Structure 1
């Protein structure tokens, strides 16, 4: 059988391109397959392969159907922010740490978010409280207390602090108490981002009482008007969103927006799902 010859440095270049884009394209996978079929690999090449596979396993690299990264570049970049800074006063215990089948709720939401993007960040005033339950690939953004504000902050200020730290075109914002969230639904929504008109600052599902602000997508460029709103004393997502162009996301199954806020919600969740 004729052996497959790799260009010198090809694996290192593949690793650099994949980690830069966050994706492994079909061409990348063909190259990796060729490397694995090679009979004589150096220690350095074996190390590169190991690092690639470890990055995929930990969710840092996603599989892409495109043959090259050129096609991916037309897709807006996306990160996710999960807010875990509430007092859980109605629940009587920290909602983020509530478990079902041994899995804390915050951990579950993080794993669902990783279906959409390898860049997932938890915004919280208490990083040490959650550090042991977060997936290895998730980052933490510590929410900083602002003088004159109640502690902890409301979700709008937590979102603003997180949004200021990310660099992607779009941000998926999630609450930490969404036990029925589905990665498939989030990915279907994310597929609409390239077709979103430039004047729209957000893509959100709508409930009877208004927008569902903690389960949807925001352009990073909305940070400036958000800070202006906060500086004027604004603290309500609904009051801020009504001032801007927001597009509605289709919602077939409203159960994905189920919030676990109270002991009654918790009993319902554990009893029915």
Structure 2
């Protein structure tokens, strides 16, 4: 697949309960986490879309300071799956065949992750998601925009789990070459650990 048909989607609508503050706006090596992730994603993907409702802290704090394209029309209370559906629809509207999707709390992603996932996409595959030695990472994946109908049906039925989404479509798992790419920053101790180890 030609990579110029791949949009980028950053899911930034979470409430960050464990962190205690919005993760998208957290400082990581001198820039916000969202800025860092978007800079990486934009090297391979266009446009880069940020999915977050207007009521989210990420949108309130960052949308006016960012030149990223924000998608705010996800179904209320539908979680990351709802954000994915809304952003996939927006990606389809600009002609993207697929979109690389990641969460806003994955500051160590690199273009190699995008390349490996895109390389795994076949004509019969709806999604390619990253896997490490322990588990699947559905919020680090490449999703075809043509799968949005099936995913939207799940949201309309009240399904919130990303795991249910990847089970509902033809999904391929790819064990990535660097598990650091999949590091999540969910709580303050995660951020302190990354800063202390100097992993970047």
Question: Does residue 158 of structure 2 align to residue 158 of structure 1?
Answer: no
Question: Does residue 72 of structure 2 align to residue 142 of structure 1?
Answer: yes
Provide the alpha-carbon RMSD of the alignment. 1.9
| Alignment partner, residue 113 of structure 1 | 41
| Alignment partner, residue 250 of structure 1 | 175
Change (3 A) 1:210 1:185: closer
- Of residues 75, 92, 98, the one that matches 2:2 is 75
Q: Is the 8 A contact 2:45 2:100 kept in 1?
A: no
Question: Does residue 106 of structure 2 align to residue 181 of structure 1?
Answer: no
Question: Structure 1 residue 240: deviation in Å?
Answer: 2.5
- Distance between the aligned counterparts of 1:266 and 1:200, measured in 2? 35
Higher relative contact order structure (alpha carbons within 8 Å, sequence separation ≥ 6): 2
Change (3 A) 1:75 1:145: closer
Q: Is the 8 A contact 1:115 1:187 kept in 2?
A: no
Q: Give me the TM-score of the superposition, normalised by structure 2.
A: 0.86
- Structure showing greater radius of gyration is 1
- Distance between the aligned counterparts of 1:252 and 1:92, measured in 2? 32
Q: Is the 8 A contact 2:150 2:168 kept in 1?
A: no
Change (3 A) 1:132 1:246: same
The within-5 A match list for 1:21-100 is 75=2, 77-100=5-28
Query: Which runs of 5 or more residues in structure 2 are unaligned?
Result: none
Question: Structure 1 residue 144: deviation in Å?
Answer: 4.4
Question: Structure 1 residue 208: deviation in Å?
Answer: 5.4
| Alignment partner, residue 99 of structure 2 | 171
| Alignment partner, residue 221 of structure 1 | 146
Q: Is the 8 A contact 1:81 1:162 kept in 2?
A: yes
- Of residues 63, 73, 81, the one that matches 1:131 is 63
| Alignment partner, residue 4 of structure 1 | none
Question: Structure 1 residue 145: deviation in Å?
Answer: 5.0
Question: Structure 1 residue 203: deviation in Å?
Answer: 0.6
Question: Structure 1 residue 164: deviation in Å?
Answer: 1.5
